[in-house]
């Protein structure tokens, strides 16, 4: 290992993408991919073993999310520098990642040179929010959040339950279910309940 290299841990459940990242990093004389992980447990173990300078994590890992994984790592290593490298640009997921301590949230479609530049900036201690991510956050600035109960109702709509089934499942009346659905549709600026689920998935409120 060359002195001064940025030591990187990559965490993604897709082997082809993980290996591709490794190949990109290997082309940079100032970077070294010290370890790879495919899930949360591996990521935490590899972080403890190597304590890398920068960690790239997919927010949607199997069994335990990348955001939860980051929170666990940062709970043990508060100075951990973590980049979320995501497929989706849902504003809720971006907000959750940044609140949990991510120094950058980047889409996997990012150009190679831009990603390398972001890694270097994060290594230097800078927070880096690409323009497209900042725009996505700004689009929903000031929008009213869904309550926990509204999210419960939305999840059940997402798995195909009708109002009567939702009422039974949550132990509330059908009238109350209808009230929650109206609020959800209004808050998400959706056309109907089905569209509300689509919007929620896009924004990162739901993961199906």
CA 126/CA 118 separation, integer angstroms: 9
Q: Which tens digits make up the pLDDT trace of 116-127?
A: 999 999 999 999
Residues 202 and 190: beta-carbon distance below 8 Å: no
- Which domains are seen in the chain, by residue range? 6-139 (3.40.50.2300), 148-203 (1.10.10.10)
Residue from 31, 76, 29 nearest 56 by CA: 31
Query: Which pLDDT does position 144 carry in this prediction?
Result: 65
Stated pTM of the model: 0.73
Residue pLDDT, tens place only, 145-162? 788 899 899 999 999 999
pLDDT the model gives residue 207: 73
């Amino acid at each position: 290992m060359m002195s001064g290299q940025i030591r990187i841990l990559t965490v993604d459940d897709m082997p082809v993408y993980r290996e591709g990242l490794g190949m990109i990093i290997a082309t940079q004389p100032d970077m070294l991919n010290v370890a790879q992980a495919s899930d949360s447990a591996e990521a935490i173990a590899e972080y403890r073993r190597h304590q890398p300078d920068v960690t790239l994590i997919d927010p949607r890992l199997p069994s335990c999310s990348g955001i939860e994984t980051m929170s666990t790592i940062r709970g043990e290593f508060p100075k951990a520098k973590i980049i979320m490298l995501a497929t989706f640009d849902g504003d809720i997921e971006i907000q959750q990642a940044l609140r949990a301590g991510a120094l950058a949230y980047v889409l996997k479609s990012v150009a190679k040179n831009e990603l390398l530049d972001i890694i270097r900036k994060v290594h230097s201690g800078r927070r880096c929010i690409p323009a497209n991510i900042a725009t996505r956050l700004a689009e929903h600035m000031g929008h009213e959040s869904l309550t926990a109960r509204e999210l419960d109702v939305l999840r059940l709509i997402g798995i195909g339950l009708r109002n009567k089934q939702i009422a039974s499942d949550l132990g509330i009346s059908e009238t109350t279910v209808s009230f929650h659905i109206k609020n959800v549709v209004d808050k998400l600026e959706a056309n109907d309940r089905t569209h509300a689920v689509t919007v929620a998935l896009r924004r990162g409120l739901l993961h199906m």
